[in-house]
Chains A and B, each alone.
Chain A
Amino acid sequence: MTVSDPDSLLAPEEVAHAIAALGSLTEERDVDAWRTEHLGRKSRLMASLRALGGIDRSRRAAVGRLLNEAKTRLGDALAAKQADLKARRTQDLAALDVSLPGRPLPAGGLHPITRTERAVVAAFGSMGFHVIEGPEVELEYYNFEALRIPADHPARDAMDTFYLDGPEGAAPLLLRTHTSPNQIRYMERHEPPIRLIAPGRTYRNEATDATHEWMITQTEVLAVDRGLTLAHLKGALYEFARHLFGEDREIRFRCDYFPFVEPGVEVSISSPDGWIEILGAGMVHPEILANMGYDPEIYTGFAAGLGVERIAMLRHGIRDIRRFYENDLRFLRQF
Chain B
Amino acid sequence: MRVPLRWLETMVPLPEDVEALAHRLTLAGLEVTNIERTGGDWDRVVVGRVLEVRPHPDADRLRLVTVEKGGEHQTVVCGASNVAAGQDIAFAPEGAMLTDPRTGDLRRLKKTRIRGVVSGGMVCSEAELGLSAEHEGILVLDTSRPPGTPLRDVLGDRVYVFDLTPNRADALSVLGVAREVAALTGAPLTPPDVSTPRPGSAIEGRASVEIADPDLCRRFTLALIEDVEIAPSPAWMQERLTAAGMRPINNLVDITNYVMLELGQPVHAFDYDTVRDHHIIVRRAAAGETLTTLDGKIHELSPERLVIADPGGAIALAGVMGGLDTEITDSTRNILLEVANFEPASVRRTARAFDLLSDAARRFAWGLPPELPPVASARVCRLLAEYAGGRVAEGMVDSWPVREPGVRIRLRRSRIPQVLGMEIPRPAVRAALGGLGFEVEEDEETLEVGVPYWRRDVRVPDDLVEEVARIAGYDDLPAAPLAGAIPHHPPIPARDLRERVRDLAAEAALYEVQTYSLLSDADLAAVTPPEMRAAPLLKVRNPLGEARDTLRTSLRPGILRAAARNLARGARAVRLFEVGKSYHPASGSDDGRPEEREAAVGLVVGVRVDRFGSPTETGLDFFDTKATLEHVLAGLRITPDFRPAAAFGLLEGRTAEISVAGSAVGVLGQVHPETAAVFGVGQDAFLWELDLTALLEAAPGMTEPPAAVPLPRHPSAVEDFALLVGPDVLAQDVVREALGHPLVVEARVFDDYLLEGSGAPGEAGRARRSLGVSVRYQARNRTLNENDIAKVRRTILKRFKANHGAVVRERA
Interface set of A (CB-CB < 8 Å, partner B): 101, 103-111, 113-114, 118, 127-128, 130-133, 135-139, 150-155, 157-158, 162-166, 170-171, 173, 175, 193-195, 201, 203, 205, 207, 214-215, 223, 225-227, 229-232, 234-236, 238-239, 251-257, 259, 262-265, 283, 285-287, 300, 324-330, 332-333
Contacts and interface: CB of A to CB of B under 8 A. Distances in A.
A250 to B, nearest CB: 9
Q: Which label, helix, strand, loop or mixed, suits the secondary structure of the A interface?
A: mixed
A135 B510 CA distance: 28
A109 B507 CA distance: 7
Nearest to A254: B27
B592 interface: yes
B487 A194 contact: yes
Give the 5 A-B CB pairs with smallest separation, nearest first. Answer: A231-B421, A229-B421, A255-B29, A152-B345, A128-B486
Interface stretch (B100-108, B308-316, B457-465): B457-465
A201 B362 CA distance: 30
B753 interface: no
B515 A327 contact: yes
Given A253-B474, A264-B466, A328-B566, A232 B482 contact: yes
A139 B575 contact: no
Interface stretch (B162-170, B334-342, B803-811): B162-170
Given A195-B486, A235-B481, A325 B419 contact: no
Contact of B419 (A136, A154, A251, A263): A263
A166 B509 CA distance: 42
Given A127-B482, A330-B569, A110 B466 contact: no
Contacts of A113: 514
B479 A325 contact: no
A6 B390 CA distance: 154
B152 interface: no
B561 to A, nearest CB: 9
Contacts of A253: 474, 477
Contact of A107 (B27, B481, B509, B548): B509
A84 to B, nearest CB: 36
A31 B224 CA distance: 127
Nearest to B541: A163
Most chain A beta-carbon contacts within 10 A, residue among B165, B420, B577: B165
Contact of A226 (B28, B484, B583, B609): B484
B8 interface: no
B513 A111 contact: yes
Nearest to B357: A157
B538 interface: yes
A173 to B, nearest CB: 6
Given A286-B461, A330-B569, 7 more contacts: A104-B611, A109-B506, A135-B596, A236-B482, A252-B475, A265-B474, A332-B512
B513 A327 contact: yes
A104 B31 CA distance: 53
Contacts of B574: 329
A31 B487 CA distance: 76
30 contacts: A103-B611, A104-B613, A105-B509, A108-B508, A108-B575, A118-B499, A131-B495, A135-B596, A136-B581, A152-B345, A153-B345, A154-B348, A154-B365, A162-B543, A164-B540, A164-B551, A203-B517, A229-B421, A229-B422, A231-B422, A234-B421, A235-B480, A236-B482, A253-B477, A254-B26, A254-B29, A255-B28, A257-B166, A325-B514, A330-B569
Contact of A201 (B417, B474, B495, B517): B517
B757 to A, nearest CB: 33
A229 B482 CA distance: 10
A135 B593 contact: yes
Contacts, number: 248
Interface string B588-613: 00011110100000000000010111
B502 A175 contact: no
A256 B365 CA distance: 19
A130 to B, nearest CB: 4
A232 B422 CA distance: 11
Nearest to A330: B569
Given A110-B506, A165-B540, A332 B474 contact: no
Contact of B344 (A139, A152, A171, A256): A152
A130 B490 CA distance: 8
Contacts of B569: 328, 330
B420 A108 contact: no
B544 interface: yes
Contact of A254 (B349, B474, B517): B474
B445 to A, nearest CB: 14
Given A229-B421, A324-B514, A329-B566, A283 B462 contact: yes
Nearest to B490: A130
B418 interface: yes
B380 interface: no
Contacts of A104: 609, 611-613
B534 to A, nearest CB: 16
Contact of B575 (A106, A201, A230): A106
Contact of A155 (B166, B345, B593): B166
A230 B476 CA distance: 12
Contacts of A263: 419-420, 462, 465-466, 469-470
A228 B355 CA distance: 44
B760 interface: no
A238 B480 CA distance: 9
A94 to B, nearest CB: 17
